[in-house]
Amino acid sequence: MALFFPIHRAARILRSGGIVAYPTEGVFGLGCIPNDTDAVMRILSIKKRDPALGLVLIASNIEQLEDWIDLPQTIRLESNLERPITWIVPAKTYVPYWIKGVHRSLAVRITEHPVAATLCEASDSALVSTSANVTGNPPIRSVHVLRRRFSSLVDCIVPGQCGPAAGPSEIRDLKSGKILRIGKT
C-alpha cells in the first residue's frame, strides 16, 4: 500500500523508477520519469491505456522540456493554475514511442500547481503526467478516492489538494491554435 510521502522522498522514488500519484491543477495525476521505460509501461498498464495515444509531460520550467520538444526559445507555453493549458508541440525526432505514441508531436504543460511543480524541481526532470483513472473512467479529484483506488498500484502518494480547475486541462495545438479539448474551470 502506497503511503503519503513528502516531495523529496517522492522525488527519490521517481528517480529510482517508481510511480507517484500527486495533485495537479485540476485532477490527481500519475507520474514517472519519462525516459524510464518500465515505469511508463507500468502507468500505461495501470490505466489500461493504449501507448499509441501518447502521454503528457509536465515541467516546472521550459528547460526541463528541452530534451523532448523542438521549439524556438522565444515561444511561451502559457498556462495558469485556474486555466491550465496542455500544448501540442513538435517533438524531437528521438522521443520514444511510449511517450509520443503515433504522433510527431508531444503534449506538454508548464505546471503552475505548487506541488506538481516542486515535484518536477525535486526530481530535476519533466514528468509523465496522466490523470489518475482507468481509461474511460472519470479522473479523480478526491484524495480519499485516490487512496482507495490507487494506493496498491503506485509507490507513493504526494499529499496536497488539486488546484481550482474543475477537471483536466485544455489541450491546444501550438501551430494552429486549435483547441482540441476544452478544459473545465
Query: pLDDT tens digits for 93-140?
Result: 999 999 999 999 999 999 999 999 999 999 999 999 999 999 999 999
Domain residues for the domain of 138 are 3-176
CA atoms within 13 A on the CB side of 88: 18
Give the per-residue pLDDT at 181: 80
Give the per-residue pLDDT at 3: 63
Q: Which residues of the chain register pLDDT less than 70?
A: 1-3, 184-185
Strand order in the sheet with 56-59: 3-4, 156-157, 20-23, 28-32, 127-131, 56-59, 105-110, 85-90, 170-173, 179-181
Asked whether residue 85 is domain-assigned, the answer is yes
**CATH number for the domain that contains residue 90:** 3.90.870.10
- How many domains are there within the chain? 1
Distance CA(156)–CA(176), nearest Å, equals 38
The crossing angle, in degrees rounded to 10, of helices 7-15 and 114-123 is 50
Asked whether residue 171 is domain-assigned, the answer is yes
Asked whether residue 183 is domain-assigned, the answer is no
Asked whether residue 99 is domain-assigned, the answer is yes
Distance CA(167)–CA(175), nearest Å, equals 24
Give the per-residue pLDDT at 58: 98
Give the per-residue pLDDT at 180: 86
pTM over 0.85: yes
Give the per-residue pLDDT at 97: 95
Give the per-residue pLDDT at 1: 60
- Asked if 47 and 132 touch (Cβ cutoff 8 Å), the reply is no
Asked whether residue 185 is domain-assigned, the answer is no
Give the per-residue pLDDT at 184: 62
Asked whether residue 72 is domain-assigned, the answer is yes
